[in-house]
Amino acid sequence: MIGLKDRGTLAVGMRADVNVFDADKVAERQPELVNDFPGGAPRFIQRAIGYKATIVNGQVNVLNGEHTGVHAGAVLRHGR
Protein backbone atom coordinates (compact mmCIF):
# COMPACT_ATOMS: atom_id res chain seq x y z
CA MET A 1 0.00 0.00 0.00
CA ILE A 2 2.83 2.44 0.78
CA GLY A 3 5.54 0.85 -1.35
CA LEU A 4 7.57 -1.04 1.26
CA LYS A 5 8.71 -4.22 -0.48
CA ASP A 6 10.91 -5.75 2.26
CA ARG A 7 8.30 -6.07 5.04
CA GLY A 8 5.40 -8.24 6.10
CA THR A 9 7.15 -11.61 6.36
CA LEU A 10 9.36 -13.04 9.12
CA ALA A 11 12.25 -14.34 7.01
CA VAL A 12 15.99 -13.83 6.61
CA GLY A 13 16.71 -10.57 4.81
CA MET A 14 13.29 -9.06 5.49
CA ARG A 15 12.64 -6.15 7.87
CA ALA A 16 10.24 -6.69 10.75
CA ASP A 17 9.35 -5.34 14.18
CA VAL A 18 8.23 -7.99 16.67
CA ASN A 19 6.85 -7.62 20.20
CA VAL A 20 7.17 -10.63 22.52
CA PHE A 21 4.66 -10.42 25.35
CA ASP A 22 2.70 -12.39 27.94
CA ALA A 23 -0.95 -11.76 27.02
CA ASP A 24 -2.11 -12.59 30.56
CA LYS A 25 0.15 -9.94 32.11
CA VAL A 26 0.01 -7.00 29.68
CA ALA A 27 -1.21 -3.88 31.49
CA GLU A 28 -0.60 -0.14 31.69
CA ARG A 29 1.25 1.51 34.52
CA GLN A 30 0.35 4.91 35.91
CA PRO A 31 1.57 7.88 33.84
CA GLU A 32 4.72 9.52 35.17
CA LEU A 33 6.35 12.88 34.57
CA VAL A 34 9.96 12.76 33.32
CA ASN A 35 12.31 15.61 32.44
CA ASP A 36 14.33 14.09 29.62
CA PHE A 37 13.83 16.63 26.86
CA PRO A 38 16.61 19.10 26.06
CA GLY A 39 16.84 21.76 28.73
CA GLY A 40 15.03 19.51 31.21
CA ALA A 41 11.58 20.13 29.72
CA PRO A 42 8.94 17.77 31.16
CA ARG A 43 6.75 15.21 29.43
CA PHE A 44 4.44 12.42 30.54
CA ILE A 45 5.28 8.80 29.71
CA GLN A 46 3.27 5.67 30.38
CA ARG A 47 5.07 2.37 30.67
CA ALA A 48 3.54 -1.08 30.38
CA ILE A 49 4.14 -4.45 32.00
CA GLY A 50 4.02 -7.88 30.40
CA TYR A 51 6.23 -7.09 27.40
CA LYS A 52 9.33 -9.28 27.26
CA ALA A 53 11.12 -7.92 24.18
CA THR A 54 10.84 -5.66 21.16
CA ILE A 55 12.90 -6.80 18.19
CA VAL A 56 13.52 -4.30 15.38
CA ASN A 57 15.08 -5.57 12.15
CA GLY A 58 16.56 -8.58 13.93
CA GLN A 59 18.05 -6.66 16.86
CA VAL A 60 16.68 -6.53 20.41
CA ASN A 61 15.67 -2.91 21.10
CA VAL A 62 13.89 -3.40 24.43
CA LEU A 63 14.37 -6.30 26.86
CA ASN A 64 12.20 -6.67 29.98
CA GLY A 65 11.11 -3.02 29.82
CA GLU A 66 14.59 -1.55 29.43
CA HIS A 67 16.07 -0.05 26.25
CA THR A 68 19.19 -1.96 25.18
CA GLY A 69 20.84 1.00 23.45
CA VAL A 70 20.26 -0.53 20.01
CA HIS A 71 18.77 1.75 17.34
CA ALA A 72 17.96 -0.65 14.51
CA GLY A 73 14.94 1.11 13.03
CA ALA A 74 14.56 4.09 10.74
CA VAL A 75 12.03 6.86 10.30
CA LEU A 76 9.79 6.01 7.35
CA ARG A 77 9.51 8.70 4.72
CA HIS A 78 7.05 8.83 1.83
CA GLY A 79 8.33 7.01 -1.26
CA ARG A 80 11.06 5.13 0.56
How many CB atoms are closer than 10 A to CB 54?
20
Per-residue pLDDT of the chain (80 residues; tens, 9 = 90+): 667 777 777 888 788 889 999 999 999 999 999 999 999 899 999 999 999 999 988 889 999 988 899 988 777 777 65
Residue 30 domain-assigned? yes
What residue type is assigned to position 22 of the chain? D
In a domain, 43, yes or no: yes
**Assigned domain for 52 exists:** yes
Q: By residue range, what is the domain housing residue 32? A: 17-67
**Residue 75: inside a domain:** no
Residue 27 belongs to some domain of the structure: yes
Q: Identify the pLDDT of residue 50.
A: 94
Phi, psi of 38, deg, nearest 5: -55, 140
**54 assigned to some structural domain:** yes
What is the total count of domains within the chain?
1
